[in-house]
């Protein structure tokens, strides 16, 4: 079995697994004052410190959540003021505020900076800009430094969905107003993440109850998941640059086999672990089934959208036709991926291409 769907979720890191197994024996509720409760609190705060240390921030900036979807909802629904979101955001940010203005992107999926600047100039404050640092479908990297400057000069808050960026690229963590992370995208468990806020940002509280997480997010903390996330961040990080030769080999081979294939966002700066490619005329569903039959797990786009026949809103925003975007395949790789895995993927893709090329001829012959 070959796993090439790291942008959907990543394998659990050994240290995260170990820390979680130990945390299963943590009996207390971190809100209890007795010794069991204090032990649970200690594990929770250790994970908060590990998370804070990773980003070189204070532990109090971190609010644990059930994942990035909740964290994006918290900031977007909690913010009172004008909201601007890019057209290529993940669904957990794009569709949350119905009153949000959409920032357009160019054909490579990069936010059009002049338009953003103009939108902010025309807007009354307070304003919140929400940008996805690394696109989960295409791997395209947004120019966060430049976007930050535009936001700062217009007194707008910048919220970054950093889900696909953590561990892979460095961002100005201390200068952006807030950001979102999700443990299962960097070797931690599923169902846990955080909203990290720098400095003063007034938010409406969405989940009220027992006052956990400084009253910002009530509910007994998911100790096991949080401990796993802290441990994943405390694990020496994989050097994602090591994947560049594999990405190059994969993309060069696929384009050589099919010069008509399109790699989305190819002219932009992209992350080293993602290839979003369309094999014209062959639907994503057919490609997914073919790869699955070859024991290779890939995706047709965003995992959350898999199964939907709908064309990707990310590719649509980049001006790609629905017809072509319905032929897209996302191949995403990581620390366990070998050259042999990539060779198998190339072979399966070429095999499908050849099968499809024969089809019209057979029909014609018949």
Residues serving a catalytic function are 304
Mark residues 236-275: x for contact with ligand PMP by CB under 6 A, - for none.
Answer: ----------------------------------------
Question: In whole angstroms, how close is the CB of 161 to ligand PMP at the nearest point?
Answer: 5
Using the minimum distance from each CB to ligand PMP, give the nearer residue, 333 or 349: 333
Using the minimum distance from each CB to ligand PMP, give the nearer residue, 287 or 299: 299
Contacts of residue 301, Cβ cutoff 8 Å, sequence gap at least 6: 137, 276, 284, 312, 314, 315, 328, 330
Question: In whole angstroms, how close is the CB of 187 to ligand PMP at the nearest point?
Answer: 14
Torsion of CA 21, 26, 31, 33, to 10 degrees: -150
- The answer to whether residue 178 forms part of the interface with ligand PMP (CB under 6 A) is no
Residues 267, 145: Cα–Cα separation, whole Å: 19
- C-alpha distances (whole Å) from 80 to each of 25, 83, 116, 203, 336 are 41, 9, 19, 7, 43
- The answer to whether residue 303 forms part of the interface with ligand PMP (CB under 6 A) is yes
Contacts of residue 30, Cβ cutoff 8 Å, sequence gap at least 6: 37, 40, 41, 43, 44, 212, 220, 221, 223
- C-alpha distances (whole Å) from 79 to each of 75, 196, 207, 311 are 6, 14, 14, 30
Using the minimum distance from each CB to ligand PMP, give the nearer residue, 159 or 290: 159
Residues 68-127 that bind ligand PMP (CB under 6 A): 68-69, 90, 92
Question: In whole angstroms, how close is the CB of 89 to ligand PMP at the nearest point?
Answer: 8
Using the minimum distance from each CB to ligand PMP, give the nearer residue, 132 or 288: 132
Which of 67, 187, 230, 334: binder of ligand PMP (CB under 6 A)?
67
- The answer to whether residue 136 forms part of the interface with ligand PMP (CB under 6 A) is yes
Which of 116, 129, 157, 161: binder of ligand PMP (CB under 6 A)?
161
Instruction: Residue 300: name the closest of 2, 5, 3, 1 by CA.
Output: 5
Question: In whole angstroms, how close is the CB of 224 to ligand PMP at the nearest point?
Answer: 16
Give the chain's end-to-end CA distance (angstroms, integer): 37
Using the minimum distance from each CB to ligand PMP, give the nearer residue, 192 or 223: 192
Residues 25, 39: Cα–Cα separation, whole Å: 11
| Residues at the contact surface with ligand PMP, assessed by CB under 6 A | 67-69, 90, 92, 132, 136, 161, 163-164, 182, 193, 303-304
């Amino acid at each position: 079995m070959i796993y090439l769907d790291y942008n959907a979720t990543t394998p659990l890191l050994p240290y995260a697994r170990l820390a979680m197994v130990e945390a299963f024996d943590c009996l207390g509720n971190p809100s209890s004052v007795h010794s069991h409760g204090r032990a649970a609190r200690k594990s929770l705060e250790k994970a908060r410190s590990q998370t804070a240390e990773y980003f070189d921030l204070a532990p109090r900036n971190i609010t644990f959540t059930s994942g990035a979807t909740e964290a994006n909802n918290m900031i977007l629904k909690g913010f009172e003021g004008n909201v601007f979101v890019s057209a290529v955001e993940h669904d957990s940010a794009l569709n949350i505020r119905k009153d949000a203005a959409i920032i357009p992107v160019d054909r490579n999926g990069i936010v059009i900076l002049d338009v953003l600047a103009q939108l902010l100039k025309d807007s009354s404050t307070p304003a919140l800009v929400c940008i996805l640092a690394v696109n989960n479908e295409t791997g395209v990297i947004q120019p966060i430094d430049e976007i930050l400057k535009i936001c700062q000069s217009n007194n707008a808050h910048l919220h970054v969905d950093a889900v696909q960026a953590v561990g892979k690229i460095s961002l100005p963590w201390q200068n952006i107003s807030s950001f979102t992370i999700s443990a299962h995208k960097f070797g931690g468990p599923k169902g846990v993440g955080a909203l990290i806020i720098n400095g003063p940002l007034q938010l409406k509280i969405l989940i009220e109850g027992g006052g956990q997480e400084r009253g910002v997010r009530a509910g007994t903390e998911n100790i096991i998941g949080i401990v796993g996330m802290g441990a994943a961040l405390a694990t020496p990080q994989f050097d994602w640059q090591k994947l560049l030769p594999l990405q190059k080999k994969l993309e060069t081979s696929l384009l050589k086999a099919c010069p008509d294939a399109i790699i989305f966002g190819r002219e932009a700066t992209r992350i080293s672990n993602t290839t979003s490619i369309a094999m014209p005329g062959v639907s994503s569903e057919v490609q997914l089934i073919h790869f699955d039959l070859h024991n290779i797990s890939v995706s047709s786009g965003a995992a959350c959208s898999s199964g939907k026949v709908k064309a990707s809103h990310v590719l649509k925003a980049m001006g790609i036709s629905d017809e072509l975007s319905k032929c897209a395949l996302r191949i995403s790789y990581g620390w366990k991926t070998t050259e042999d895995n990539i060779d198998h993927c190339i072979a399966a893709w070429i095999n499908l291409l050849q099968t499809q090329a024969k089809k019209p001829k057979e029909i014609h012959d018949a």
